[in-house]
Structure 1
Amino acid sequence: MKKLSMLIFALVMAASGNAFAAEAAAGGYVHDAVGDVSVVVGKAAAQSAKVNDAIAPDTVINTGDKSHAVLKFEDGQVVVMQANSSFHMREYRYEAKQVEKSNILFAMLRGGMRFVTGLIGQRNRGAFKLTTPNATIGIRGTEFMVVMGNSPMYSQVVSGSISITNAAGTAVFTAGQTAIVASATTLPATISAAALPAGTFTELGAIPIPPATPAPAPAPAGGAATGGATTTTTAATAGAATGVSTTAIAVGVGVAAGVAAISSNTTTTTHH
């Protein structure tokens, strides 16, 4: 029995270590995925994205027709993607105790997106950068939308302000203003509501936005069985009480249960 206990402990620690490593390498997760949403990590093949999937650096999220996705990050940063959009999380580093050491580098490849600043952008404005084919956008504690067509890029500031920079120079836009960037070599300029193509930001405005509050990514969904759900919930409670990762605890409980089942089978066979 002593040997079995030691085996369980070793397996739990190994599983917990893997879980901790996975969480530390992530930083973001899929908060909502409706329709055709895929995720590509590095050079791996695209896979269907699911709610609570982790988003690690060098991950690309794509949305198809009549689809949308909402991504959330540890510092509270929110990214809303409308249909037919492509987002690349190039870099994400969040130091909760030293936010000035944190940084975000996102890339918008196509489509339309809404960005709600989290703690990183609020406390260290220079730490957030969004690159697009036409320009690079910096923020000043803000919420803004970006939609790219075949050529012009439009950006509307909901709150705060943004700076848009390209080969032609830099321009700053504040809450209520809409910018147009005709190309990578054309200076960003203000565009009036009357001149803005109809419905430019309508789709983005209709997608629900979660609060931009800092929170760790949730543990991946467990099995469909009722027993599994109960075990995960119990593990989460234990993790909250001890400060240990709920993902690691849940994995450890699963390993322990598996070993216990094996032990039970072995004991029965021996007695017979």
Structure 2
Amino acid sequence: MRQLSVLLAVSAMTLMSPAFAADSAAPASSHATPAGEVILLTGRGTATNPQTGAIRGLVKGDPVYSGDILNAGSNSYMNLKFSDGAFVLLRPNTRFSIDRYAYTPSSAPPATPPPPVTPALPARPATPPPADRHPVTTASSTEGTLQRAFLRLLKGGFRTVSGLIGKTNADDYLVTTPVATIGIRGTDYYAYICDLACANDPIILESLDLAHLGHDLAVGATLDGVIHGSIAVTNAAGHTEILTAGQFLLTLSDGRQIRLPSEPDFLRAQPFPDPLTLCVS
């Protein structure tokens, strides 16, 4: 009995060892195909697996996965490159979720043309397929390709240069914020969830005054701006505003959408860096 007690005690200590704890904290998606990787991190960043609650620290070169919730710390920029070629740059104090992401381009070789039919021979009737055969379908509007990028901004802001997803079928790409959704067809734009710096900006305050709206509506609003291309911003009521290069929109917490005459001052003072060039640590 004493030997059995000692064996049980050793087993319990093994389970509680740091090596076991580190293994249990490994991401559940460690064997999945990465959605992308971290190509720049100036400060601290983490990824949370919402299913297990496990949090892992990130460094340059680390993969990120579909389902991850990413956090950029204070004074920390995190630049991500996704498998479809998109770049997403997170500002400091940003929380960003890769809700659902997949990109599998078709690798099938081009079809070989059938040999010519000799006119002297009668055509043989096609053999019907077995009764249990079903046609193969793909999960995307692009033949031979599985693609989707459903993302969510929870806090802070990001700038993105889009990749291949969404260029063929806009329904394959969607960014959700607390008050709006954003769709694209290939573009360079940013989104920011307004905090006090945003709510106290003179450009925003003047625009709210002209619309006879209270300044308190700015906190929690989504601010969007387009550098190149265009985006479609839809509020909870289903109304969509199209923004093109050099245009800026504020979607308020009550759903109202206010076009701004220019970029807010706080973003001109501390602009979003270009994610295509910000890739060195």
TM-score band by shorter chain is 0.5 to 0.7
Cα distance in 2 between the residues matched to 1:78 and 1:34: 16
Percentage of pairs with the same residue: 30
Cα distance in 1 between the residues matched to 2:269 and 2:86: 21
* Structure 1 segment 66-215 matched on structure 2, within 5 A: 66-97=75-106, 98=143, 101-149=146-194, 150-168=219-237, 169-183=239-253, 185-193=254-262, 196-200=263-267, 202-206=269-273, 208-210=275-277
Equivalent position to 2:33, from 25, 39, 42: 25
Letter in 2 for 1:209: L
Does the residue aligned with 2:165 lie in a helix, a strand or coil? helix
Does the residue aligned with 1:206 lie in a helix, a strand or coil? coil
Instruction: Tell me whether 1:36 sits opposite 2:44 in the alignment.
Output: yes
| Ranges in structure 1 where 5+ consecutive residues have no aligned partner | 1-20, 212-272
- Alignment RMSD (CA, Å): 2.3
- Contact persistence 1:76–1:118 (CA under 8 A): yes
Cα distance in 1 between the residues matched to 2:144 and 2:257: 30
Normalised to the residue count of structure 2, the TM-score between the two structures is 0.62
Greater relative contact order: 1 or 2 (C-alpha under 8 angstroms, separation 6 or more)? Answer: 1
| Pairwise CA distance, 1:200 | 2.4
Does the residue aligned with 1:145 lie in a helix, a strand or coil? strand
Cα distance in 2 between the residues matched to 1:37 and 1:123: 32
Cα distance in 2 between the residues matched to 1:90 and 1:165: 19
- Contact persistence 1:80–1:209 (CA under 8 A): no
How many residues align? The count is 189
Cα distance in 1 between the residues matched to 2:176 and 2:41: 23
Cα distance in 1 between the residues matched to 2:76 and 2:61: 17
Letter in 1 for 2:64: I
Q: Which residue of 2 aligns with 1:53?
A: 62
Distance 1:50 1:159, change over 3 A: same
| Pairwise CA distance, 1:182 | 1.2
- Contact persistence 1:33–1:68 (CA under 8 A): yes
Cα distance in 1 between the residues matched to 2:151 and 2:277: 19
- Contact persistence 1:61–1:88 (CA under 8 A): yes
Distance 1:102 1:187, change over 3 A: same
Q: Which residue of 2 aligns with 1:17?
A: none
Q: Which has the higher helix share?
A: 1
- Contact persistence 2:38–2:59 (CA under 8 A): yes
Cα distance in 1 between the residues matched to 2:90 and 2:274: 9
Distance 1:207 1:101, change over 3 A: closer
Distance 1:76 1:110, change over 3 A: same
Does the residue aligned with 1:126 lie in a helix, a strand or coil? helix
| Pairwise CA distance, 1:131 | 0.3
Cα distance in 1 between the residues matched to 2:89 and 2:166: 16
| Pairwise CA distance, 1:46 | 2.1
- Contact persistence 1:82–1:204 (CA under 8 A): no
Q: Which residue of 2 aligns with 1:261?
A: none
Distance 1:84 1:102, change over 3 A: same
| Pairwise CA distance, 1:142 | 1.0
